[in-house]
């Protein structure tokens, strides 16, 4: 115990969602057997966890490198992939280790069915996000992606719209987008495909963060879900700090006898939250 005597508690419900656990377990099994494994894009939006797996032999590649590989194994992470990735793999005799999250796969399928039925698809999601690229790929890149309702102001939208959402978006924002479109006179068929494991954290976190006088939210900077959950924490406890590693913690952020809650994104490993706890307790 450091001289500050900080009382630190980790949120039991924080940490990897099942999609990420599944992908990482699969990667670790193959790494233990083969000594190396290619992964298309960062396996998880957390640099510390990516570095841990790279040290075990994970090789992160992008799509341009995939096209040059032959007769190899390549992992598809939880975010899922567009159809052309599967075509490339077939052509190059690549064995795909498919760890796409079942929630994402179900959504991909629903979007494909809507597209085949010639519906006008809007996807509420982050531009360039891995999951969103996979979703848009189901529509031959014809679906319109927007991450902010203002982007639609000068767009000539059809009268009938089918609305989908990236699985890690905030439910409140999704429903406010739907209501705004309906208020503007559009006919909206809204498909709430937000992952309940993520949206339930929106509900659970407020109860957790109000028990402490300070919160340390641990997440990678690239995590969409991290941004959403950080805002939830800050909304219920203004004394919330966002950190990606223990290097970003400093004693002057805290006062003696503070009670501190640690929580994180669905892409934050438990070992990293434990490191943060150890650092705080050493002050």
CA distances from 78 to 23, 102, 214, 270 (A): 6, 8, 32, 18
The tokens describing 231, both together, are 């805002």
Name the active-site residue from 131, 142, 204, 231. Answer: 131
Element (H, E) at 25: helix 18-34
Q: Token match 């194994």: residue?
A: 73
Q: Calculate the CA dihedral of residues 120, 125, 130, 134 and round it to 10 degrees.
A: -20
d(CA 44, CA 17): 11
Q: How many residues does the chain have?
A: 283
Element (H, E) at 196: helix 196-209
Please indicate whether residue 131 is annotated as part of the active site.
yes
Longest dimension (CA), the chain: 65
d(CA 6, CA 281): 6
d(CA 67, CA 83): 14
Which residues are marked as active site?
A: 131
């Amino acid at each position: 115990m450091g001289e500050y005597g900080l009382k630190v508690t980790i949120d039991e419900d924080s940490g990897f969602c099942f999609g990420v656990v599944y992908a990482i377990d699969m990667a670790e099994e193959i790494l233990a057997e083969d000594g190396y494994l290619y992964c298309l894009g960062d396996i998880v939006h957390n640099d510390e966890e990516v570095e841990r797996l790279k040290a075990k032999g994970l090789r992160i590649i992008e799509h341009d490198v995939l096209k040059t590989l032959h007769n190899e194994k390549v992992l598809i992470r939880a975010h899922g992939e567009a159809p052309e990735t599967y075509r490339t793999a077939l052509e190059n005799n690549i064995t795909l280790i498919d760890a796409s999250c079942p929630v994402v796969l179900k959504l991909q399928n629903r979007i494909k069915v809507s597209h085949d039925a010639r519906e006008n698809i809007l996807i509420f999601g982050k531009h360039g996000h891995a999951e969103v690229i996979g979703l848009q790929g189901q529509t031959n890149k014809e679906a319109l992606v927007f991450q902010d309702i203002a982007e639609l102001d000068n767009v000539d939208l059809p009268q009938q719209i089918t609305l989908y959402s990236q699985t890690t978006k905030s439910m409140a924002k999704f429903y406010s987008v739907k209501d705004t479109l309906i208020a503007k006179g559009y006919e909206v068929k809204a498909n709430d495909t937000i992952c309940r494991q993520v949206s339930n954290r929106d509900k659970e976190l407020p109860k957790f963060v109000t028990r402490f006088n300070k919160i340390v939210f641990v997440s990678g900077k690239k995590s969409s879900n991290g941004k959403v959950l950080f805002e939830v924490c800050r909304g219920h406890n203004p004394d919330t700090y966002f950190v990606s590693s223990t290097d970003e913690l400093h004693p002057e952020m805290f006062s003696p006898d503070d009670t501190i809650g640690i929580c994180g994104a669905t892409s934050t490993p438990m070992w990293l939250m434990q490191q943060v706890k150890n650092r705080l307790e050493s002050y």
